[in-house]
Amino acid sequence: MREGFVKCYCEHTLFVKTEGGNSLIISLYVDDLIYTSNSESMLDSFKKSMQEEFSMTDLGKMKYCLGVEVIQDEAGIFISQRKYALETLKKYGMQDCNAVRNPMVPGNKLTKRGAGEEVDPTAYKQLVGSLRYLTATRPDLIYSVNVVSRYMENPREEHMMAVKHIMRYVKGTAGFGIQYLCGGEEKLVGYVDSDYAGDEDDRKSTSGFTFMFGGGAVSWSSKKQPIVTLSTTEAEYVAAANGACQAVWMRNMLTEIGFGQGDGTVLFCDNSSAIKLSKNLVLHGRSKHIHVRFHFLRELVNEGIISTEYCSTHEQLADIMTKPVKLEVFEKLRADIGVTLKEG
Give the CATH number, domain containing residue 301.
Answer: 3.30.420.10
The predicted structure's pLDDT at residue 281: 60
The answer to whether position 120 is within a domain reads: yes
Cβ burial of 332 (10 Å; 0-12, 13-18, 19+) is middle
Q: Same structural domain for residues 194 and 331?
A: yes
Same domain? For 152 and 208 the reply is: no
- What pTM, to 2 d.p., does this model score? 0.91
329 & 205 share domain: yes
CA distances from 168 to 69, 101, 286 (A): 21, 8, 45
Collect the ranges in the chain with pLDDT lower than 70: 1-2, 281-289, 291-292, 344
Q: Are residues 144 and 7 in the same domain?
A: no
Candidates 222, 224, 27, 235; CA nearest to 144 is 222
DSSP state of 318: G
Q: How many domains does the chain have?
A: 3
Based on the domain organization, do 222 and 126 belong to the same domain?
Answer: no
Check residue 291 and give its pLDDT.
66
Residue 122 and residue 210 share a domain:
no
What pLDDT is stored for residue 344 in this prediction?
A: 61
Helix axes 272-279, 232-256, angle to 10 degrees: 60
Residue-level pLDDT at 292:
67
The domain boundary residue, chosen from 151, 172, 193: 172
Considering the domain architecture, whether residues 40 and 125 belong to the same structural domain is answered as no
> Which residues constitute the domain of residue 275?
184-336
Asked if residue 188 and residue 157 are part of one domain, the reply reads no
